[in-house]
Amino acid sequence: MSSGGYLLAAVLFVPALGALLVMLLPREEETLQRGFGIAFSLVSFALSLALIKLFNSGYGGFQLVLDKAWIPGLNARFKIGIDGISLWLVILTTFLTPIVLLSAWNSVHKKVREFVVCMLVLETGMLGAFIALDLFLFYVFWEVMLIPMYLLIGVWGGHRRMYAAIKFVIYTMVGSLLMLAAILYVYVKYGAYTGEYTTDIEKLQKLILPYSAQVWCFAAFALAFAIKVPLFPLHTWLPDAHVEAPTAGSVILAGVLLKMGGYGFLRLAIPLFPDAAVKLAPLVGVLAVIGIVYGALVSLVQPDLKKLVAYSSVSHLGFVMLGIAALTTTGVTGAVYQMLNHGISTGALFFLVGMLYDRRHTRQISEFGGLRSAMPWFFAVFLLISLSSIAVPGTNGFVGEFLILIGAWSFSPALVVVASLGVILAAAYVLWMVKRVFYGELSNPKNQGLPDLSAREATVLLPLVVLAIVMGIASPIFTRRIEPAAEGPPAAKMAFTSVLSELTV
């Protein structure tokens, strides 16, 4: 057990420690509460960067593993670790959290202490889900994420916040309970065969269930993860959650929480139930492509800026699911990279829409026009992030979508052709939005004299802009660590269909 495991545990629990200390601060000390929240999230980010140095980029298995006894009665262990898939998702989480807290400095005014605590607890939940190597531990962190996100929408959201928050909880809970039932089934089956009851993910991957049982278990896991993606037609909770959530909630929802779905497919649903995953991959691919085109078409007709960006997430994450469904190393690598890209580009778009809302208190596209002359720096950042969102070569979005389409070609050329239509439609709805908001005459008097980016806003956006460019021109920095792990799930599940496993039930 290496010291890297303890470093990983520190990354996980520093935000939780920060939440505890912030909760002990006097309610009136709002500046101190915000400062503590940013400080602890920055410490977690700094520690997560140290993981890169310890990470062996040529090894596809789990690294920096920490394995401790936890619940002896269930033989559940506190086992955490990372591979090339989870490494960058962990860093994306620790990277976005302090930026989100900084962005909320002037936009969240009520219950500041509780807001900071929610953000830090949510960070711990997200990190735990990404690094858990025990199925029961994963489920605990999966549920931990639900409460703070519900509060972020329900307490600090818009006029229909309770409707959106309850809808989010209902959708998530239905999937979670079915997944729990499948977890218990696998736990019992493994124990019945080996005499050892365990929730260790690596051990459970050696268990091959009968095909019919795999289908039901895969369906239960896949439903929970498909809701979180969200995969068409389980996406209807997402626009409401995004529109009603505060900017901070929208950014963390789009930037990290939605990635739990794709990650869950790669980490659990596919490796645990490989035969079912192979058989049902075409269905997942078809739904992914429907989501790509549907999300783009609905975005094209949205009058609300935030809802447009929300529906664009359905389209972008459809590409992620297409890459996963392809079951190829290139496709999975592209899917993971696209998850990172979406967190950067769409997170930045939500920040920008929130900054515009803070100035005008409206998100209706018809209320704007000609903002390029009033807010030139804001326009420059908005345009660059928009270009990355539509996958212009030289930006991060291009690398991810290109890898996915190449990786999925052997899976289904027809689906790739239809998915390519989503790329064209994305250019249409994004560039048309930019035209209506920033070009033309500055005719609305309410838009005259709008302030350009402040120093705090520039600090929030600059890291995202830099990453959008760096990830576009220096993608091997990231992909060379992803690829060995991306070979793991596809190679494992394809092998399971043709060779005997260690265990057969």
Q: Is the pLDDT of residue 1 over 70?
A: no
Q: Is the pLDDT of residue 375 over 50?
A: yes
For residue 418, what are its two tokens?
A: 């239809």
User: What average pLDDT does range 58-83 have in this prediction?
Assistant: 88
Q: What is the pLDDT of residue 500?
A: 33
Mean pLDDT of the chain: 88
Q: Is residue 332 part of a domain?
A: yes
Q: What is the pLDDT of residue 319?
A: 92
Q: What is the pLDDT of residue 40?
A: 95
Reference 436, options 347, 355, 372, 357; nearest CA is: 372
Q: Is residue 46 part of a domain?
A: no
> What are the pLDDT digits (tens) for 117-153?
999 999 999 999 999 999 999 999 999 988 899 898 8
For residue 80, what are its two tokens?
A: 């955490």
Q: Is residue 33 part of a domain?
A: no
| Gap between the Cα atoms of 144 and 374, Å rounded | 43
Q: Is residue 447 part of a domain?
A: yes
The domain tally of the chain equals 1
> What are the pLDDT digits (tens) for 182-202?
999 998 888 888 888 888 888
Letter for the amino acid at 462?
L
- Yes or no: say if 334 and 404 are a contact pair by the CB < 8 Å rule: yes
Q: What is the pLDDT of residue 495?
A: 38
Q: Computed from CA positions of residues 246, 309, 322, 468, in that sequence, does the dihedral angle turn out positive or negative?
A: negative
Q: Is the pLDDT of residue 261 over 60?
A: yes
Q: What is the pLDDT of residue 2?
A: 61
Which pLDDT band holds residue 348 (cuts at 50, 70, 90)?
Answer: very high
User: What average pLDDT does range 328-333 have in this prediction?
Assistant: 90
Q: Is residue 233 part of a domain?
A: no
Dihedrals phi, psi of 303, to nearest 5 degrees: -90, -10
User: What average pLDDT does range 237-250 have in this prediction?
Assistant: 85
Q: Is the pLDDT of residue 91 over 90?
A: yes
Find all residues with CB under 8 Å of 19, minimum gap 6, and list them.
40, 116, 117, 120, 121, 124
User: What average pLDDT does range 480-485 have in this prediction?
Assistant: 88
| Gap between the Cα atoms of 316 and 485, Å rounded | 22
Q: What is the pLDDT of residue 493?
A: 42
Q: Is the pLDDT of residue 282 over 60?
A: yes
Q: Is residue 105 part of a domain?
A: no
Rounded to the nearest 10°, the torsion over CA 81, 83, 88, 93 is -20
Helices (H), 301-328: 305-326
User: What average pLDDT does range 92-107 have in this prediction?
Assistant: 91
User: What average pLDDT does range 361-379 have in this prediction?
Assistant: 88
Q: Is the pLDDT of residue 504 over 50?
A: no
Which pLDDT band holds residue 488 (cuts at 50, 70, 90)?
Answer: low
Determine the structural domain holding residue 294 and report its residue range. Answer: 273-499
Q: Is the pLDDT of residue 483 over 70?
A: yes
Q: DSSP class of residue 367?
A: G
Query: Measured at the alpha carbon of residue 224, what is the angle toward residues 222 and 228, in degrees to the nearest 5?
Result: 110
For residue 86, what are its two tokens?
A: 């989870």
- Percent residues over pLDDT 70 in the chain: 96
Q: Where are the beta strands (DSSP E) in 147-254?
A: 207-208
Q: Is residue 481 part of a domain?
A: yes
Q: What is the pLDDT of residue 370?
A: 85
Q: DSSP class of residue 231?
A: P
Helix 396-409, helix 376-389: angle, nearest 10: 10
Reference 304, options 391, 351, 239; nearest CA is: 239
Highest mean pLDDT among 95-104, 353-362, 438-447: 95-104
> What are the pLDDT digits (tens) for 390-432?
888 889 888 989 999 999 988 889 999 999 998 899 999 999 9
What 3-state class would DSSP assign to 65? strand
For residue 303, what are its two tokens?
A: 């009058």
| Gap between the Cα atoms of 21 and 43, Å rounded | 14
Helices (H), 371-454: 371-374, 376-389, 396-409, 413-438
Q: Is residue 283 part of a domain?
A: yes
| Gap between the Cα atoms of 53 and 48, Å rounded | 10
What 3-state class would DSSP assign to 498? coil
Letter for the amino acid at 272?
L
Letter for the amino acid at 385?
I
| Gap between the Cα atoms of 474 and 92, Å rounded | 17
Q: What are residue 146's DSSP bridge partners?
A: none
For residue 281, what are its two tokens?
A: 């991959």
